[in-house]
Amino acid sequence: MYWKHIAIGAILFIFYWIVLPIAVVAIGGYMDSHMIPEWGKIAGTVLGWIGFTFGLISASYALIDGGGVAYCCPPKKLLKCGTYSMCRHPMYFGFILYINGLALKFGNLGSLIASSAFSTLIVLFTAFYEERKLLKKFPEYEEYRKEVPAFFPRLPRMDDRCPPLLFQLLFYVGHVISWFTWNIKFEKECEIPEKGYMVVANHVTYLDFAVIVYTLSRFVSFPISYFHFERNKWLLKLVGSFPIKRHKPDTRAIIKIISYVKRNGRIGIFPESERSWDGRFIGVKEGFDKLTQKVPKPLIGIRIEKAHLLYPRWGKKFLPGKVFARVRCFENLRELEEFLEKPSVSPDDRYPSYKGVEKYIYRCPKCKEFHSISSSKGGLKCERCGFEVKKPTVGELWNIHDEVYSSLTPCYSEEGELIDPYGKSLGKRVLVTFSENAIKYGRRILKKEDVRTFITEGRGEVFFYSNDDRMVGFKFKSALLWSDLVKKFWNIS
């Protein structure tokens, strides 16, 4: 139905913005043959482009913010974002500029008279029909009408709940790209409200946010780890994201999330806090239940399936294929957790490519040598003992990793590169030794009891945060290896 409405809207858009204006300009041209002066043609070009752009942006806000398709399906909520914060009828205003600009550019005095008369009809239609219809449909329209002019725009009002222009551009570009890369299929098992809500999804790839936006076809703001936010701050701000600290409770970000949803904004949250390495649900982080208690219900749960096969955390590149998204609404967090706990892939699935799997299988299960596994598109092999598995299923990889994990001992050393909180190299490599009670790096020692939090980023970055909030970060061959060591012997996750 979504694409059907888009197709109908596109046909009607062609009629209203191409066929109808040309007809009005052409018919008016027979009324009077006086030509428009050159300066008028220049003004017509400017007016035409401004009007067309204004109308196009307004149609985009109607779709992404209100779920409405221009000329086909009206929005499901009262629009107040972007051009709708400037005037109440921005598409009509843009069309008036456009059709009169067209008359100036390509027509004559008769064309201008006809376009002006048609514009007058639009204003009268809006005043005596459209306004009354909106007053009946939206109780808050009366207050909105007092604040915002009908046609002559005021300066736009900034609102963090509104989809930024760059987000809108990427929204459409992403839809086109998805035709050639990920074929996303979704099933909605509940009615998604138009008021504010929190989207809670499993986290399996860097592109999960795109799957969520594609599935909901709405603007959703995502809190992003400081590690990634600082690397791409200029871009992430322009698409409506904001930073959040993973290593400790971030009061400012939490307050923003709660306030945002209560003000009818949409927030996307990954309760695992990091991407899964193998498609299995990592678990909800401590404190997430308190956050969900303070936001309006329902919680919108989205389970992303099969995407892990195409872009695993340990993988080296993004691959095309089919992705599925299951959408349900929840009032209870426990039911939401049960919905997300199911693995996003089947144990019988196979990966299109196994390149990079040595980040996940960081030790040979046969000879017990660390970092001896090499990977290829067709599987993995130990360069030391010759252990080899060709095109293993997801379940077989789970078993190999779990066997490797169970055989870990609290004695391990590896050379690592010191990095700052945002993953930037500090230009120094040190030998890092893990034991049951401490980590020694160079001449320094970090005791187990002094470590408050441990987190991983990417495929190789690991960070230890002490009780006094000091941080030491390393880049290793596999972040998962260190995560498993800390989880198994220090009981820190």
Tens digits of per-residue pLDDT, 109-126?
Answer: 888 889 999 999 999 999
Reported confidence tier of residue 427, pLDDT bands at 50, 70, 90 = very high
Q: Which of 20-34, 159-173, 250-264 is predicted with the least confidence, judged by mean pLDDT?
A: 20-34
Peptide bond into 298 cis (omega under 30): yes
Helix or strand holding residue 252 (H, E): helix 251-262
Confidence grade of residue 33 (pLDDT, cut at 50, 70, 90) = low
Res. 403: pLDDT tops 80:
yes
Residue 198, pLDDT > 70, answer yes
pLDDT of residue 32: 64
- Name which of 207, 460, 482 is nearest 317 in CA terms: 207
- Identify the pLDDT of residue 11: 84
The angle that helices 109-125 and 20-29 make with each other, rounded to 10 degrees, is: 130
Question: Is a pLDDT exceeding 70 seen at residue 1?
Answer: no
Which residues make Cβ contacts (< 8 Å) with residue 149, sequence separation at least 6? 87, 88
pLDDT in the model for residue 422: 86
The predicted pLDDT at position 30 comes to 76
Greatest Cα pair distance, the chain, in angstroms, is 93
Res 205 pLDDT > 60: yes
pLDDT score of 461 more than 80: yes
Confidence label for 410 from pLDDT (cuts 50, 70 and 90) = very high
Which two tokens mark 337? Answer: 């957790």
Residue 454 three-state SS:
strand
**pLDDT, tens digit, for every residue of 289-309?**
899 999 999 999 999 999 999
Residue 285 has pLDDT above 90, yes or no: no
- Residue 493 clears pLDDT 80, i.e. is over it: no
Place of tokens 């017990």: 368
User: Hey, which residues does 412 pair with through a beta bridge?
Assistant: 434
CA 107, CA 278: separation in Å to the nearest integer? 64
Mean pLDDT of 51-68: 89
Quote the mean pLDDT of the chain: 91
| d(C-alpha 36, C-alpha 281), whole Å | 68
CA distance 88 to 367: 71
Non-local CB neighbours of 458 within 8 Å, separated by 6+ positions = 423, 479
Q: How many residues are there in the chain?
A: 493
* Beta carbons within 8 Å of 306's beta carbon, 6+ residues apart: 321, 322, 323, 324, 344, 345, 349
Taken in order of first residue, the domains within the chain and their CATH numbers are 2-147 (no CATH), 165-341 (3.40.1130.10), 357-406 (no CATH), 411-490 (2.30.29.30)
CA distance 394 to 90: 52
> Residue 108, Cβ neighbours under 10 Å: how many?
20
The rounded distance, in Å, linking the Cα atoms of 491 and 137 is 56
What's 431's DSSP letter? E
Q: Are the CB atoms for 276 and 203 separated by under 8 Å?
A: yes
The pLDDT score that the predictor gives to residue 109 is 84
Reading the block at residue 225, the tokens are: 């780890």
